[in-house]
Amino acid sequence: MSLRLDPPQVATRRQRFSVAERWAHRATAVLMGVCVLTAVFLYIPAFAQLVGRRALVVTAHQWAGVALPIPVLAALGSRALRADLGLLNRFGPHDRVWLRAVLRRDKRPSSRPAHKFNAGQKIYAAWTAGATLVMLGTGLMMWFTHLTPLTWRTSATFVHDWLALSLGIVLAGHVGMAMGDPEARRGMRTGSVTREWAEREHPLWWP
């Protein structure tokens, strides 16, 4: 047996998410989890039969839904989150290159340039933020039925149901991609990522 010495450590990790951002993500994930789980209990007959307790499940779903935007709104006090929202908002020429590579199923890192967030993450963030608020609005219309004209309510249910299905699929994609990338998960859990990962996934952020 021979002892192997590790090479000297030189700035191998880099801060990616602040404490406030990580807690906002955690709290949002828990609330979204409650929303999805209770939705399954309310909506899919086999699970509804298993769980029953309809009034209780409805209450849990309603309050988790109303609370869903709160963690992110609270974390807006954090400079790091506001800076990241700025990065998520703006699309540069490299984002178009990234999207085109996705459409061509070109998986080489070199053809998928990205800054701190790639174009897919940017679209995911903007769309889920909008979709969550639409779910909240239509959900409130179904909850407080006396507040809106009657035809709106049936319409709100229609939008809420179909958007729930879309959001569920997109969320499954989000979780699935995180499952396939341990270093990305470590970044969200501990706040920092390795240099190799950043160079491969986000070359423009840490070249």
Partner 1 sequence: MNSELPEPRGVPVGRRVFLGTLGLGALGVLAAPTLQRGTEAFLGGAADLDPTGLTGLLPNGGGFRYYSVTSSVPRKDAKNYQLTVDGLVDRPATYTLADLRALPQTRMVLDVQCVTGWRVPGTPFEGVRLSQLLDAAGVRSSAGAVHFTCFDGAYTESLTLEQARRADVLVALRMQDKDIGHPHGGPVRLYVAPMYFYKSAKWLSGITVTENVEPGYWEERGYDIDAWVGRSNGRDDEPTT
Residue 28 and residue 68 in contact, taking contact as beta carbons nearer than 8 Å: yes
From candidates 3, 11, 73, 103, binder to partner 1 by CB under 8 A = 11
Residue 173 and residue 109 in contact, taking contact as beta carbons nearer than 8 Å: no
Q: Is the CB of 95 or the CB of 201 nearer to partner 1?
A: 95
User: Which residues within the stretch 147-206 sit at the binding site for partner 1 (CB under 8 A)?
Assistant: 150-159, 161-163, 165, 204-206
Check residue 73 for interaction with partner 1 (CB under 8 A).
no
From candidates 48, 67, 74, 80, binder to partner 1 by CB under 8 A = 48
Residue 189 and residue 25 in contact, taking contact as beta carbons nearer than 8 Å: no
Q: Is the CB of 3 or the CB of 46 nearer to partner 1?
A: 46
Size of the site for partner 1 (CB under 8 A): 57
Residue 13 and residue 195 in contact, taking contact as beta carbons nearer than 8 Å: yes
Q: Which stretch binds partner 1 (CB under 8 A): 29-37, 51-59, 103-111, 175-183?
A: 51-59
φ, ψ for residue 192 (rounded to 5)?
-125, 160
Check residue 146 for interaction with partner 1 (CB under 8 A).
yes
Which string of x and - marks every residue 96-135 that binds partner 1 (by CB under 8 A)? -------------------xx-----xx-xxx-xxx-xx-
Q: What length does the chain have?
A: 207
Check residue 66 for interaction with partner 1 (CB under 8 A).
no
Per-residue burial over 135-169, b = 16 or more CB atoms within 10 Å of its CB, e = otherwise? beebbebeeeeeeeeeeebeebeeebeeebeebee
Residue 131 and residue 169 in contact, taking contact as beta carbons nearer than 8 Å: no
d(CA 114, CA 25): 21
d(CA 78, CA 55): 37
Q: Is the CB of 155 or the CB of 194 nearer to partner 1?
A: 155
By CB under 8 A, name the binding residues for partner 1.
Answer: 10-11, 14-15, 43-45, 48-49, 51-55, 87-93, 95, 115-116, 122-123, 125-127, 129-131, 133-134, 137-138, 141, 145-146, 150-159, 161-163, 165, 204-207
